[in-house]
Structure 1
Amino acid sequence: MDEVEGVINGTYDYTELKGDTGPLVYPAGFVYIFTALYYITSHGVNIRLGQYIFAFFYLVTLLLVFRIYNRTKKVPPYVFFFVCCASYRIHSIFVLRLFNDPVAMMLLFAAINLFMDGYWTLGCGVYSLAVSVKMNVLLFAPGLLFLLVREFGLIRTIPKLSLCAAIQLLLGLPFLLDNPVGYLSRAFDLGRQFMFKWTVNWRFLPEWLFLNRYFHLLLLAAHLLILLLFAFRRWKR
């Protein structure tokens, strides 16, 4: 709410937008969605209403995820119970913290459902909206690129990628016109340092290791290695 309040007050320079948790480091879609929530929740004061809205997001996300699992025909129904009830992290992010992760992932799972139903252009549009809420959705881009090339070939994939880029450009236009370098460096900062006090997944590590750049490079290398293993062992079929 602090971060989007600056935009509401007329500041479009990303380098000047910040809140209690630090500078604004999310793309423009985040600003628009949380600006709407800002007004709906009486300038961020009505927390209960915000929790109801995110509870709705949670139910929609579960429905989308269940539909994906159901379409794979590989997951027994009783697993859905554990998906609902066993994740402290999911409940914490949706109901207690009201982060932008739930909105980004809800849009991502909506895009995946559209891809499964053959709506590739619309799915790419929704996927780009998800990226505009939080940059980590880009981690799904290699898999999506592979599917697009397999489905349409390299040339016919270009319009789909152009749509994704156009949506990012359109949403970010007010900020790009004011300070393009500031917007791109903040909203898509690949070198940003994540603070230890905000982590959930890596809380078991000592802080010095969590902040170590070699640890970050190790995680990136592991991610790329797994992508290569999938490419040669699974996707090539």
Structure 2
Amino acid sequence: MGKRVEWVCEMVHTLALKPAGYTYMSIALLSLDGLLTSLIIGRVAYTEIDFTTYVRQARLFVDGERDYSRINPWNGSGPCVYPAGHLYVYAVFDWLTRGAQDLFPAQVCFGVLYLSTFCIIAKLYKMSGAPPVLLVPLVLSKRLHSIYVLRMFNDPIAMFFVYSSIYLLCRAL
């Protein structure tokens, strides 16, 4: 029995603290987080803050408005203050959600974006020599899940490209 306990302790130590554990820990946490994110989308109520405004702003843009001071939907949270890329992305969400009438497709997209960002961050952590156990707080973060799939803010889209750029730069060095 002592050898088994010793083996289990060594395995946990390797998975949590050594670079050799990154692949296994990343796959396990990604799978767990995929399940958790699916449960959150299915069971936790969406919180409207800006998503509908973003979609309505994109709709005004798609309908031909180019004056930013007039890309300000009625009953929204204000005029558009983001660059055109924001409008292009949310124009896709306008189409996917039928004008923010069905949020589920957008939540799935943001869930995939969240998990993709997790993968990139895991690669960055591994490159930096950080222990694999540091990935656990990402999976357990209520705030991250809220920002990505319950509120669908625009920040995660930008951060995906930031982390991707950092990863590509680090890989090239």
TM-score (normalised: structure 1): 0.48
Q: By how many angstroms is 1:44 displaced?
A: 2.0
Q: Which one of the candidate residues 91, 102, 113 is aligned to 2:156?
A: 102
Q: Deviations over 1:130-177 (max 9, x none)?
A: xxxxxxxxxxxxxxxxxxxxxxxxxxxxxxxxxxxxxxxxxxxxxxxx
Equivalents in 1 of 2:66, 2:119: separation in Å? 36
Aligned to 1:43: 99
Asked if 1 retains the 8 angstrom alpha-carbon contact of 2:56 and 2:94, the reply is no
Alignment of 1:135-154 (within 5 A): none
The one-letter code of the counterpart of 2:172 is: G
Identify the structure with bigger relative contact order (alpha carbons < 8 Å, sequence gap 6+): 2
1:1-237 equivalence runs, <5 A: 1-19=55-73, 20-73=76-129, 75-85=130-140, 87-118=141-172
CA shift, 1:38, in A, is 1.1
Partner SS state of residue 42, structure 1? coil
| Deviation larger for 97-106 or 87-96 | 87-96
Aligned-pair identity (%):
31
Task: Structure 1 unaligned segments of length 5 or more: list them.
Answer: 120-237
Tell me the alpha carbon deviations over residues 14-50 of structure 1, each in whole angstroms, 9 at most, x when there is no partner: 1111131111011111011111111122222221111
In the other structure, the counterpart of 1:142 is none
Structure 1 residue 61: deviation in Å? 0.5
Give the TM-score normalised by structure 2: 0.65
In the alignment, the residues of structure 2 paired with residue 16 and residue 116 of structure 1 have an alpha-carbon distance, to the nearest angstrom, of 41
Matched letter for residue 51 of structure 1: Q
The CA deviation string for residues 82-134 of structure 1, in whole angstroms up to 9 with x for no partner, is 1211x222111101111111101011111111111228xxxxxxxxxxxxxxx
